[in-house]
Structure 1
Amino acid sequence: MITLTDSFFKSDIDDRITTLEQVLGWYRAGNNKMYKVFTERASYTESLENCEKKGARLAVDGIIEAAIRRDLFDRLIKPSGYKTYVGLDDRAIEGTFVWLNGKPLIAGEVEWGSGEPNNGGGRGQDCASIYHSDLIFDDAECQNKLNFICEISP
């Protein structure tokens, strides 16, 4: 009978983290999750699908946590040079933003741009993005082609 030890599983996780970091270019943040901004611009739906194909999701946990959000912005989003989708939208109920983990956005949890979110004056801006020039959120039209940031737990 083969007995698997904790060190076996730790080694497997360490190998996966090393592969994500060194081979695939993912960044390990302070919350021990891995992040990567993809610059092949995509709609929100395409971004969701692209992250899922990588075994990830659009970033949520690292975006909710202010210190991690700042780190991800400085290291990944700002250098990408373009607005970036995150895992937050109000597609189900206009004006009620919900993270992909099902938790509602708490007032003051993120900093929206001046006058945002504004639904684009009724044009249906339902998908949250972060400006690359500053750590400000914007509601974008979901069909807009933007960068996107994926999050994975190793």
Structure 2
Amino acid sequence: MSRPQGYIEGEAPASQHRSGSNGGSKVRSERVALLVVSALLAAAVIVICRLSLDNMHTKQSFQTLRDELEAVKRNLTDDSCPKCEYGWEQHGRQCYYFSISSSTWSESRDECRQKGGDLVQIDSREEQTFLELKVREKMNFEWDKFWIGLTDSEKEGTWLWVDGSPLNESLTFWIHGEPDNWTWYNPDGEDCVRMGEKAGAPDLKCWFDLSCKYTQRRICEKPAETGHFTLQCV
């Protein structure tokens, strides 16, 4: 049989070349499409993971905010956090009232009791430091002193606080020469104690005995109360 004109031995027909070329292009296109889809899927997975993490962090943030809000609420109603009512000054867990008016020692004690407290009882050097500074600020004149809850009216020389406890002799703040039980103002002597030095008290020593019938200002004391208005303890 004669070969077609222009036939070269070993050469495939042109139609076969075109068919093979189209097949290769199709395979490459499918591979490209597969790669694109894979990349899109990978990107989608990454986005989903990031959204999940962001959602988790958001939930944690909301939980933290809720916890902080609950803490604030607890603080607002925390019965362990004391406060003082208006007109009283707080120091630690105690409240102190420094009067403007003057009364005898007994009258002063009655007025403190009416306010829910008693004349101040000084139990530490730190408390004396606080009171000495406060009294100094509030004194208008040198004789403008304040009654405290200490007396030897039951037995001369035996000093007792208003709760009946004896004075700790290692924790006293008598000014030099006191107590002297001077009888010039009252023959019964001086059985009650006042405090204060307008110019300041060296080593906090500013206690004086005085006739209980003398009128002075007073320091009342009572424990701080619990309530719903304090954000933090003082």
TM-score normalized by the length of structure 1:
0.80
Residue correspondence of structure 1 range 1-154 to structure 2 within 5 A = 11=78, 17=83, 20=85, 24-30=86-92, 32-60=93-121, 63-74=122-133, 76-81=134-139, 82-121=144-183, 123-133=188-198, 134=201, 135=204, 136-153=206-223, 154=225
Indicate if the aligned counterparts of 1:41 and 1:145 stay in contact, CA closer than 8 A.
yes
When you count helix as a share of all residues, which structure comes out higher?
Answer: 2
Distance 1:150 1:54 in 2: 8
Distance 1:11 1:43 in 2: 39
Residues 44 and 13 from structure 1, CA distance in 2 versus in 1: closer, same or farther, beyond 3 angstroms? farther
How many residue pairs align between the two structures?
139
Counterpart residue number, 1:3: none
Indicate if the aligned counterparts of 1:112 and 1:138 stay in contact, CA closer than 8 A.
yes
Distance 1:89 1:96 in 2: 8
Structure 2 gaps, min length 5: 1-73, 226-234
Distance 2:219 2:197 in 1: 12
Q: CA deviation at 1:132?
A: 3.2
Indicate if the aligned counterparts of 1:130 and 1:138 stay in contact, CA closer than 8 A.
yes
The root-mean-square deviation of aligned C-alpha atoms, in Å, is 2.2
Greater Rg by CA: 2
Q: CA deviation at 1:11?
A: 4.5
Local SS of the residue matching 1:118: coil
Letter in 2 for 1:109: L
Q: CA deviation at 1:152?
A: 1.0
TM-score normalized by the length of structure 2:
0.54
Indicate if the aligned counterparts of 2:132 and 2:196 stay in contact, CA closer than 8 A.
no
Structure 1 gaps, min length 5: 1-6
Letter in 2 for 1:149: I
Distance 1:127 1:34 in 2: 22
Local SS of the residue matching 1:48: helix
